[in-house]
Chain A
């Protein structure tokens, strides 16, 4: 039936690896690259010849050419470079990254500056090409997944990356929700699930209810800077410390060595999932007296790794508790526990999570591919709609993972849309001018639940322009905040007196300005007090 329709794809755009899948003849297919690999490293390499390589070809360049091989872009996308957690992530990246306009990180490679969405767009374009070759048809529409706790800005930047890659982004989908779609596909279920998703750089936990192809997310939470990379970093610190003690050389000063140590630690961590002890040698880390190459002999036990990473795992269990409370559940009423993300292979993680939820995790779905699988299903559901029962795959009732608020008098945050509200959702608030003849008002917008505005994540400034000049307090603007199915904020505004639409634009912090990819950057200067009127 879908024979003549252009195929749609689902993309799990990961920190470390990406996966692309499609629904064909009622079966989900994971799409390989031209060498048959189903996991595509999210790495972009810039060769001396001026070529851009992506995936396995790029990953092979990481140690040869670390300064021109970009990975972990997902840790930077849509974020302010001033964010302390971004700075921490950057401290371990060997490539050059500095502050651009609007606080966004810009990456310099071979004398050219790239925005983070541009880097991610290379990965997405690669996946699009893989799909086109595999399916033998053009592909122009996709669902792309993101961690549930991604902010508005991170979602927008991801969507933007998709567009730069020539894809119409049908939906920005939350990763744990995608996993649930995959789990529930083709089965008549009445179930309550917990999805624990620990990837390379992010952690999400989601509780949802499934009934008759309807997937209702009850609550979601997590930590946007917690993942397997933190596990690697604990090992890197431990081994770099050992090298420092023995050789009096700080490996941080040498990006090539630092990058090799990082990869070695990742491998040690993975091996320790199967073995109790891992020992070996990392060669050519530095040059010693007389030009002698220096190496590091190491031995790490699983118990040692577990004691290093335990605080991180505990943090994730804490988040599970919060999400269950928000869903109004106790762990005992859950029908199943799903683990997603490569880092859930770590035995300590499996043990702690099983212990907390009081059950063993299910094993019927592949943790590496399940998110892309769900994304492919959602893509199919979105293009076919749901009015024809024969083609009704599923309906997803997802939530906004963070509250949306505005700054009000006294430095407080007024919540406009609460965390865990099903999307799409809209809320209307009325605002008045506070100065005579005021024609422009600015509203500070944030995401988060803290009482004080400054304690939340600053999203940006909402600017209402072209207001008719009137005495203060006379102009009443009705502002409708809409969080769409992508979890992205849209705003529209209306002047209550003239009943005219008012120009309302959001200026999002950390987003590429038009200038960086051609055009003029928006100005954040200027002011005009705007205060909420009585409710």
Chain B
């Protein structure tokens, strides 16, 4: 039998390792299950991890710095569990994972169409072209389209925001 102190030390080591590897881990690895795992196996893995990583398990004596890391790791476990325990989301996740997307963050819901706030017809068209360019990672093409759009609706906060994003993207390339 291991003592609570030994358990605590082992969990700390685990949390530190997991925290460092979070950005390279897919959800299956986060939960420690194979990509063929069934619903029951996924739930069991989640419960096992929760019983080790949930901040409540550690009482209120842990130092704040460790608690932050614990919350980050537990939060990712939850994210993985939520994605893999819902068949529709899991299918969506697997599809993205095949293309190297480790996390299922955006796109869980139908996203609002921000262009509805743009009044001018032509500005809206160029804005859509710019968004498409940004989705393709082409910040410079997005900039060109947004400047045209802004010439017909210079005060639009949506266009200004998009411009800021496009500039950021273009600068990184």
Contact = CB atoms under 8 A, between A and B. Distances in A.
A476 B168 contact: yes
B36 interface: no
A533 B165 CA distance: 6
Interface string B154-165: 000110110111
Interface in B111-166: 112, 114-117, 134, 157-158, 160-161, 163-165
B100 interface: no
A387 B116 contact: no
B56 A396 contact: yes
Nearest to A214: B47
A485 B114 contact: no
A422 B60 contact: no
B157 to A, nearest CB: 6
B170 to A, nearest CB: 10
21 contacts: A214-B50, A216-B47, A382-B59, A387-B59, A388-B4, A395-B50, A395-B57, A397-B50, A412-B112, A421-B78, A422-B78, A424-B55, A424-B71, A425-B75, A434-B160, A473-B163, A482-B71, A529-B157, A531-B157, A534-B168, A535-B106
Query: In this complex, which of B57, B75, B108, B165 has the most chain A Cβ atoms within 10 angstroms of its Cβ?
Result: B75
Query: In this complex, which of B58, B134, B161, B163 has the most chain A Cβ atoms within 10 angstroms of its Cβ?
Result: B161
Given A385-B59, A409-B158, A473-B165, 6 more contacts: A214-B50, A387-B11, A397-B54, A422-B82, A534-B134, A534-B168
Contacts of A280: none
A386 to B, nearest CB: 4
B59 A384 contact: yes
Interface in A309-335: 328
Contact of B165 (A388, A396, A414, A432): A432
Contacts of A386: 51, 54, 56-58
A423 to B, nearest CB: 8
Interface residues of A, number: 49
A482 B71 CA distance: 9
B99 interface: no
Contacts of B168: 432, 473-474, 476, 533-534
Q: Which 4 A-B pairs have the closest CB atoms?
A: A410-B117, A385-B59, A473-B164, A386-B57
A382 B58 CA distance: 8
A249 to B, nearest CB: 53
A155 to B, nearest CB: 17
A385 B58 contact: yes
B93 interface: no
Contacts of B50: 214, 395, 397
A427 B106 CA distance: 11
A98 B7 CA distance: 54
A385 B112 contact: no
B164 A434 contact: yes
Given A397-B50, A408-B114, A426-B72, A382 B165 contact: no
Contacts of A412: 112, 114
Contact of A426 (B60, B75, B108): B75
A412 B157 CA distance: 13
